[in-house]
Structure 1
Amino acid sequence: MDSDLAEQSCGRGVSGATITFVLRIFFGTDDLDRIRVAERPDMSMELSLSVHGLVSGRCDPRFLDWRNRLRASWNPRTALLFDLYTPTAIPEFLAVRRDPGATESATAEAPPEPLRDHLRSVGGVRQLSAFARGVAAGDQRARKLLGNVTADYQTRAIDPYRRQIETIVTTEHGRRRRITEPDQVLGSLHPALSWRRPVLSFPLAGGCRHDIRLDGRGLLLQPCVFGPRRPVIARFEDPRQQPVLLYPARIGGPLQPEVEPTPSRTLTALLGHTRAAALEAIAAHGPCSTKDLAAVLDISTASASEHATVLAESGLTSKDRTGRTVTHRPTPLGRALLAGRVPEAE
């Protein structure tokens, strides 16, 4: 979001993330002990923030190449996503998964209540489009279209930059991890933030104020690549959720796409996209734990365990257990399948 617009407004969505900089966050003693810096990027939030940058017309030179490449492959239907935004609120129900097909399903099947609440807040700012009204009403065609458009945008705007985004965020995590004292972490997080125990504040003009009390929930500090140059608060309205403070990670230079190797069509047809990707990940990173496999594939640990079990039962990988940790490695048959050949009989 353009910083001038941010300072002029302090609106908030009912359930979406709120882009507001006139804010005070009150910490209790337990909250300071529950501060943590995210180890990996939140790709769903990266996608949502990247769309918001397009909606707001933010001209950040770091993203010039990214915007030009996106413009060259622009799908006009992507503009439907713009109907879900206001200058101060972004949707949190656009789900990104490693497999675009899973992204499509997860977004189309998002829980209806937060989706309706967010679009109700959008409707309070401007008239909803026919597409947004259909999504809010739970129309299956509109929901399916939402999933399809989100998945298509992911393949153009997020997937080619995944590795660079992950490197930027993990580097930021390592930098912050070396600072052990909560006061030092909060005090050095961003120039726009002011930390005076027990209050973290966004000191801005305009007279608008919003207070958040963590009440033992702690705070997740999430470095972001596509976020605005100032922090954003999200997921704070539900008392059962840990609030997230998204802040801009250091980006050394412009984003550059990297073509990651993808499973062959034959292998994908044989195993399915996610399972083929799991076999390739185990071959590339193995021996790797189930948790590591889940992180690489951007899926749950339970799903990673299920895919790894099927691969092991098929003789494509092997499993070793040390205590509670299970590690996976490719078998000769698995490597041969990845290489597109059949191993010789012994």
Structure 2
Amino acid sequence: MKYCKKCLFPDTKPELSFDVNGVCDACNYADKKEKINWEQRKNELHEILEKYRNKEQTNYDCVVPVSGGKDSSFQTYYIKKECGLNPLVVNFHPRDFTEIGRKNIEVLKELGVDCIEFSANPVTYKKLSKFGLTELGDSAWPEHIGLFTIPVKIAVAYKIPLLIWGENPQLEYGGPAAVSSSQYLDKEWNEKHGGYFLDKIKPENMLKYGFEKKDLLPYFYPTDEEIKSIGITGIFLGYFIKWDARKQLEIVKKHGFNVLDTNNEGTYTNYENLDTKHVSMHDYFKFLKFGYGRATDHACIDIRNKRLRRDEGLELVKKFEGKIPKKYYNEFLQDYSLTEKEFLEICEKFTNKEIFKTNSDGSLLRDKNNDVEKIKYDN
């Protein structure tokens, strides 16, 4: 296991590549961002927006998918206030919404937008979440699908051809060059990089696990025919403007966006992953599978933006990352009908044991809190 020489990303991160100097593609893109003509990119954006603006005012100008987090709040602000468009914002309602998440959705609406909050069948949603946890190691699996399918389905239903997403995660966090350099989010991108595991298991595959197709409708992406009939186009706002999450956070805070009074579990920041209770569990399983979690994500971005030195970021990662989230732990076990022993067995099932210290029998070495320890945190 090796780490980027500029940031803290490990080579176990899916789709991440390193150059001959041991620098990851996310860091290399960060350097390229400084050379991009952002004024020209912004002009390109406005040309696209004018093309799709509904000049007769008989329909919405675009769809903006939102979770209520800092990024989608900024997307909504930018499209509504800076660009003067009339967006329809669409939210896939999570089954474990937090109080602060609810507040931030309401704050987002106060920017002066219409909003559709889609609530999926809770019985099916819960079953899919349990399947995601036990079979894929991700309890947020159905949510990650719905976040990308529902806005597109709404766009088709309302005949709104333009969707505006936020950052391209393949750019900000590293990924294949051809994908990360694209301004578009289409069905192929969604299946490979959006709804997690869609390249391995699709909703239609769930029929063999006892699910009925009629109950899985929210998780099906529109057909190619439906997409073409409306001319659906999805673009990344982060391709056209210089994406800086912390600067954008300060903008949305001025419009009422709420943050935590202390850091969120698994990281040192207080402004991200606020809308759902169990997202920290999703990040914990990422740590078990790949040896890094949310603190690493945040530290790497802060290092690239010269807000942290690499050694400072490493200390923050060691301090905050890799612990079983405890805030909603008992509620999580109850919700998924698990004993702690069963939960730890699921953790063991998805842990990459080449990354973590083990006992002589090959089982994970755990401390008194059942937390595991990585073999190495740096090169």
TM interval, shorter chain, is under 0.3
Give the structure-1-normalised TM-score.
0.26
Give the structure-2-normalised TM-score.
0.25
- Whose strand fraction is larger, Structure 1's or Structure 2's? 1
For the pair shown, which has the larger CA radius of gyration, 1 or 2?
A: 1
Which of the pair has the greater relative contact order for Cα pairs under 8 Å at 6+ separation?
1
